[in-house]
Amino acid sequence: MHTRELFDAPPSDTRSERLAPGAWLLHGFAHDVARALLAAVDAIEAAAPFRHLTTPGGFRMSVAMTNCGSLGWVSDRHGYRYDSLDPLSGRPWPPMPPIFLHVAQTAAQAGGFSGFRPDACLLNRYEPGARLTLHQDKDERDFSAPIVSVSLGLPAVFLFGGNARKDRQRRVALQHGDVVVWGGPARLYHHGVLTLKDGHHDLLGPRRLNLTFRRAG
């Protein structure tokens, strides 16, 4: 199959929705394993607690985050980057749980990207009022691998734009268990999350968790 056909052809799962060439919304893909994912999140948090990072400009991020895998994404006055050590503890980040790896790889496969081997997972925790401004994921060394993003807890509105910041953004409603996969021609598309609204989820209460898998090194 030619690359263009791969990005334009829909996955076999009828719950899949094409957002752009190389980008798919997999409705409810992780719903059935959500409890297992959340149990793994608890273990990660015990070793590397969630924290609010500071941007290079000195602003406190509204989303709390932590990492697992061989690399973790960090931000401070020195810039955005990946590091093998948690700056709070000086120890390596917790290893990526097998259930995380399974979901990331099978979702990537469903989106048309085989052989995905993530070495970093960013865990983002949103509470009402938190948001993620429009940005590109471009701190990774290799853009050939896709991004796999798993939503758990409260619903959110995902903004998905284009290569240029000024490109029109699509508003995508994300529910508990939804997974978004983007790569290929969409790999550097701008994206963000609108301000999270108040609500209550049976498993997470007034919160949303996002697991973002990447090949960073």
The predicted pLDDT at position 142 comes to: 87
- Domain locations along the chain: 3-49+98-214
Structure tokens that stand for 80 in this block? 């955005």
Q: Helix 34-47 and helix 98-110: axis angle, to 10°? A: 130
Q: Output the pTM of the full model.
A: 0.93
Residue showing tokens 């749980």: 97
Looking at CATH, the fold of the domain delimited by 3-49+98-214 is given as: Jelly Rolls (2.60.120)
CB atoms within 10 A of CB 156: 24
- Kindly report, residue by residue over 159-203, the tens digit of the pLDDT: 999 999 999 999 999 999 999 999 999 999 999 999 999 999 999
Which H or E run includes 149? strand 147-153
- Kindly report, residue by residue over 19-55, the tens digit of the pLDDT: 999 999 999 999 999 999 999 999 999 999 999 999 9
pLDDT grade for 14, boundaries at 50, 70 and 90: low
Cβ contact 172:19 at 8 Å: yes
Q: Dihedral sign, CA of 55, 25, 30, 101?
A: negative
User: Taking phi first (over 0 means left), then psi (-120 to 50 degrees means alpha), and beta for anything else, what does residue 92 get?
Assistant: beta
Helix ranges (DSSP H) in 59-212: 98-110
The predicted pLDDT at position 35 comes to: 98
Look at residue 162 and give its three-state secondary structure.
Answer: coil
Question: What is the C-alpha separation between 147 and 39, in angstroms, rounded?
Answer: 23
- CA-based end-to-end distance of the chain: 28
- Kindly report, residue by residue over 93-106, the tens digit of the pLDDT: 999 999 999 999 99
Q: Which of 8-12, 56-60, 176-180, 190-194 is predicted with the least confidence, judged by mean pLDDT?
A: 8-12
Backbone angles phi, psi at 193, to 5 degrees: -135, 130
Cβ contact 178:25 at 8 Å: yes
The predicted pLDDT at position 15 comes to: 85
